[in-house]
Protein backbone atom coordinates (compact mmCIF):
# COMPACT_ATOMS: atom_id res chain seq x y z
CA UNK A 1 0.00 0.00 0.00
CA UNK A 2 1.37 3.42 -0.95
CA UNK A 3 1.29 6.41 1.42
CA UNK A 4 -1.36 8.03 -0.80
CA UNK A 5 -3.62 5.02 -0.26
CA UNK A 6 -3.23 5.28 3.49
CA UNK A 7 -5.46 7.55 5.55
CA UNK A 8 -3.45 10.81 5.44
CA UNK A 9 -4.26 12.09 8.97
CA UNK A 10 -3.38 8.70 10.44
CA UNK A 11 -0.20 8.55 8.34
CA UNK A 12 0.88 12.00 9.53
CA UNK A 13 0.09 11.04 13.13
CA UNK A 14 2.10 7.84 12.75
CA UNK A 15 5.11 9.59 11.24
CA UNK A 16 4.95 12.47 13.71
CA UNK A 17 4.58 10.06 16.60
CA UNK A 18 7.49 8.01 15.28
CA UNK A 19 9.72 11.08 15.09
CA UNK A 20 8.71 12.23 18.59
CA UNK A 21 9.18 8.78 20.11
CA UNK A 22 12.63 8.46 18.52
CA UNK A 23 13.68 11.95 19.69
CA UNK A 24 12.45 11.38 23.24
CA UNK A 25 14.03 7.94 23.36
CA UNK A 26 17.33 9.51 22.26
CA UNK A 27 17.05 11.97 25.16
CA UNK A 28 17.74 9.16 27.63
CA UNK A 29 21.32 9.45 28.96
CA UNK A 30 22.36 6.08 27.50
CA UNK A 31 22.02 7.64 24.04
CA UNK A 32 24.24 10.69 24.56
CA UNK A 33 26.26 10.45 27.77
CA UNK A 34 28.71 7.84 26.36
CA UNK A 35 29.55 10.23 23.51
CA UNK A 36 30.22 13.05 25.98
CA UNK A 37 32.43 10.85 28.18
CA UNK A 38 34.35 9.23 25.35
CA UNK A 39 34.65 12.50 23.46
CA UNK A 40 36.17 14.22 26.47
CA UNK A 41 38.49 11.29 27.21
CA UNK A 42 39.68 11.17 23.61
CA UNK A 43 39.90 14.98 23.37
CA UNK A 44 37.57 14.97 20.37
CA UNK A 45 36.28 18.13 18.76
CA UNK A 46 32.51 18.67 18.70
CA UNK A 47 32.50 17.84 14.98
CA UNK A 48 34.18 14.49 15.56
CA UNK A 49 31.83 13.67 18.43
CA UNK A 50 28.81 14.49 16.29
CA UNK A 51 30.13 12.31 13.47
CA UNK A 52 30.24 9.45 15.97
CA UNK A 53 26.72 10.35 17.09
CA UNK A 54 25.44 10.29 13.52
CA UNK A 55 27.09 6.97 12.65
CA UNK A 56 25.96 5.35 15.90
CA UNK A 57 22.42 6.73 15.59
CA UNK A 58 22.05 5.39 12.06
CA UNK A 59 23.45 2.01 13.14
CA UNK A 60 20.97 2.01 16.03
CA UNK A 61 18.03 2.53 13.68
CA UNK A 62 19.40 0.04 11.12
CA UNK A 63 19.50 -2.71 13.75
CA UNK A 64 16.05 -1.65 14.95
CA UNK A 65 14.74 -1.93 11.39
CA UNK A 66 16.26 -5.40 10.99
CA UNK A 67 14.79 -6.68 14.26
CA UNK A 68 11.48 -4.99 13.48
CA UNK A 69 11.37 -6.62 10.04
CA UNK A 70 11.95 -10.06 11.53
CA UNK A 71 9.20 -9.51 14.11
CA UNK A 72 6.86 -8.23 11.41
CA UNK A 73 7.57 -11.22 9.16
CA UNK A 74 6.73 -13.59 11.99
CA UNK A 75 3.73 -11.51 13.00
CA UNK A 76 2.30 -11.34 9.49
CA UNK A 77 2.64 -15.10 9.13
CA UNK A 78 0.74 -15.52 12.38
CA UNK A 79 -1.74 -12.87 11.29
CA UNK A 80 -2.82 -15.15 8.44
CA UNK A 81 -4.00 -17.61 11.09
CA UNK A 82 -5.40 -15.12 13.58
CA UNK A 83 -6.96 -12.24 11.65
CA UNK A 84 -6.20 -8.78 13.01
CA UNK A 85 -3.77 -10.01 15.67
CA UNK A 86 -0.79 -7.85 14.70
CA UNK A 87 -2.35 -4.36 15.18
CA UNK A 88 -3.81 -5.36 18.55
CA UNK A 89 -0.53 -6.93 19.63
CA UNK A 90 1.34 -3.75 18.69
CA UNK A 91 -1.17 -1.68 20.69
CA UNK A 92 -0.68 -3.93 23.73
CA UNK A 93 3.10 -3.56 23.42
CA UNK A 94 2.79 0.21 23.12
CA UNK A 95 0.65 0.31 26.25
CA UNK A 96 3.18 -1.93 28.00
CA UNK A 97 6.21 0.13 27.02
CA UNK A 98 4.34 3.34 27.75
CA UNK A 99 3.44 2.13 31.24
CA UNK A 100 7.00 0.94 31.81
CA UNK A 101 8.49 4.34 30.94
CA UNK A 102 5.91 6.15 33.04
CA UNK A 103 6.80 4.03 36.09
CA UNK A 104 10.53 4.25 35.38
CA UNK A 105 10.32 8.03 35.07
CA UNK A 106 9.18 8.38 38.68
CA UNK A 107 11.56 5.88 40.23
CA UNK A 108 14.23 7.75 42.11
CA UNK A 109 17.81 6.71 41.47
CA UNK A 110 20.63 7.47 43.91
CA UNK A 111 22.98 10.16 42.63
CA UNK A 112 26.57 10.37 43.94
CA UNK A 113 27.30 13.33 46.21
CA UNK A 114 28.03 16.35 44.09
CA UNK A 115 26.40 14.78 41.04
CA UNK A 116 28.08 12.92 38.21
CA UNK A 117 31.46 14.16 37.08
CA UNK A 118 33.05 14.14 33.65
CA UNK A 119 36.73 13.76 34.43
CA UNK A 120 39.12 14.62 31.62
CA UNK A 121 41.29 11.53 31.34
CA UNK A 122 44.09 10.70 28.94
CA UNK A 123 42.98 8.70 25.89
CA UNK A 124 43.44 4.99 26.58
CA UNK A 125 42.38 3.61 23.18
CA UNK A 126 42.85 4.70 19.59
CA UNK A 127 40.41 7.19 18.15
CA UNK A 128 39.27 4.61 15.61
CA UNK A 129 38.58 2.01 18.32
CA UNK A 130 36.66 4.54 20.41
CA UNK A 131 34.63 5.70 17.41
CA UNK A 132 33.64 2.25 16.18
CA UNK A 133 33.15 1.02 19.72
CA UNK A 134 30.43 3.62 20.23
CA UNK A 135 28.86 2.67 16.90
CA UNK A 136 28.91 -1.03 17.83
CA UNK A 137 27.31 -0.38 21.22
CA UNK A 138 24.37 1.38 19.60
CA UNK A 139 24.10 -1.13 16.75
CA UNK A 140 23.88 -4.02 19.21
CA UNK A 141 21.10 -2.34 21.19
CA UNK A 142 18.09 -1.86 18.89
CA UNK A 143 15.43 0.58 20.06
CA UNK A 144 12.94 -1.79 21.65
CA UNK A 145 10.54 1.07 22.34
CA UNK A 146 10.28 1.75 18.58
CA UNK A 147 9.46 -1.84 17.60
CA UNK A 148 5.72 -1.68 18.43
CA UNK A 149 5.41 1.37 16.17
CA UNK A 150 6.91 -0.67 13.35
CA UNK A 151 4.35 -3.38 14.04
CA UNK A 152 1.50 -0.89 13.93
CA UNK A 153 2.40 0.05 10.35
CA UNK A 154 3.36 -3.43 9.11
CA UNK A 155 0.25 -3.88 7.00
CA UNK A 156 0.59 -0.47 5.31
CA UNK A 157 3.30 -1.55 2.90
CA UNK A 158 7.02 -0.90 2.35
CA UNK A 159 6.59 2.78 1.42
CA UNK A 160 5.05 3.65 4.78
CA UNK A 161 7.66 1.51 6.55
CA UNK A 162 10.43 3.36 4.72
CA UNK A 163 8.99 6.74 5.71
CA UNK A 164 8.66 5.61 9.33
CA UNK A 165 12.27 4.39 9.35
CA UNK A 166 13.36 7.78 7.99
CA UNK A 167 11.47 9.53 10.80
CA UNK A 168 13.11 7.22 13.34
CA UNK A 169 16.54 8.04 11.93
CA UNK A 170 15.92 11.81 11.90
CA UNK A 171 14.49 11.83 15.42
CA UNK A 172 17.22 9.62 16.85
CA UNK A 173 20.19 11.43 15.31
CA UNK A 174 18.74 14.88 16.07
CA UNK A 175 17.98 13.91 19.67
CA UNK A 176 21.40 12.36 20.29
CA UNK A 177 23.17 15.30 18.66
CA UNK A 178 21.14 17.86 20.61
CA UNK A 179 21.87 16.42 24.03
CA UNK A 180 25.49 15.63 23.24
CA UNK A 181 26.00 19.23 22.12
CA UNK A 182 24.27 20.64 25.21
CA UNK A 183 26.41 18.55 27.53
CA UNK A 184 29.63 19.48 25.72
CA UNK A 185 28.62 23.13 25.84
CA UNK A 186 28.82 22.99 29.62
CA UNK A 187 25.24 22.22 30.61
CA UNK A 188 24.98 20.39 33.91
CA UNK A 189 24.81 16.63 33.35
CA UNK A 190 22.76 16.34 36.53
CA UNK A 191 20.15 18.77 35.20
CA UNK A 192 20.06 16.99 31.85
CA UNK A 193 19.47 13.67 33.59
CA UNK A 194 16.63 15.18 35.62
CA UNK A 195 15.13 16.56 32.42
CA UNK A 196 15.50 13.12 30.81
CA UNK A 197 13.48 11.63 33.66
CA UNK A 198 10.57 13.91 32.77
CA UNK A 199 11.13 13.05 29.12
CA UNK A 200 10.61 9.41 30.10
CA UNK A 201 7.16 10.31 31.42
CA UNK A 202 6.37 12.20 28.21
CA UNK A 203 7.65 9.26 26.16
CA UNK A 204 5.40 6.92 28.13
CA UNK A 205 2.35 9.09 27.50
CA UNK A 206 3.24 9.42 23.80
CA UNK A 207 3.50 5.64 23.42
CA UNK A 208 0.17 5.09 25.17
CA UNK A 209 -1.33 7.74 22.87
CA UNK A 210 -0.03 5.90 19.82
CA UNK A 211 -1.52 2.70 21.19
CA UNK A 212 -4.90 4.42 21.53
CA UNK A 213 -4.59 5.72 17.97
CA UNK A 214 -4.07 2.17 16.70
CA UNK A 215 -7.00 0.80 18.71
CA UNK A 216 -9.41 3.51 17.59
CA UNK A 217 -8.27 3.21 13.96
CA UNK A 218 -9.08 -0.51 14.03
CA UNK A 219 -12.73 0.14 14.98
What DSSP string runs through 55-68? HHHHHHHHHHHHHH
- How many Cβ atoms are within 10 Å of 146's Cβ, its own excluded? 27
Question: Measuring CA to CA, which residue among 155, 165, 188 is closest to residue 21?
Answer: 165
Confidence at residue 55, expressed as pLDDT on a 0 to 100 scale: 96
Does 176 or 10 have the greater pLDDT score? Answer: 176
Interval 143-181: pLDDT, tens: 877 888 877 776 777 888 889 999 999 999 999 999 999
Under 8 Å CB-to-CB from 176, ≥6 apart: which residues?
Answer: 26, 31, 32, 35, 53, 56, 57
User: What is the pLDDT averaged over residues 130-134?
Assistant: 89
User: What is the pLDDT averaged over residues 6-31?
Assistant: 82
Does 186 or 120 have the greater pLDDT score? Answer: 186
Tell me which DSSP letter residue 107 carries.
S
Interval 67-93: pLDDT, tens: 888 877 776 665 555 445 555 665 676
pTM flag (> 0.75): no
Domain definitions of the chain by residue range: 14-107+124-218
Amino acid sequence: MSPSAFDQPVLLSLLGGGFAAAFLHAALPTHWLPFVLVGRAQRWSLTRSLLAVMAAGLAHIASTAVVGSLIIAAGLALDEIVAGLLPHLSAVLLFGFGGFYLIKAFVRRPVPAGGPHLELAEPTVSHSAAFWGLVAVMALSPGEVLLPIYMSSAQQGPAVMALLTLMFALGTVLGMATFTTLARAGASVLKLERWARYEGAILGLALIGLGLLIVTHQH
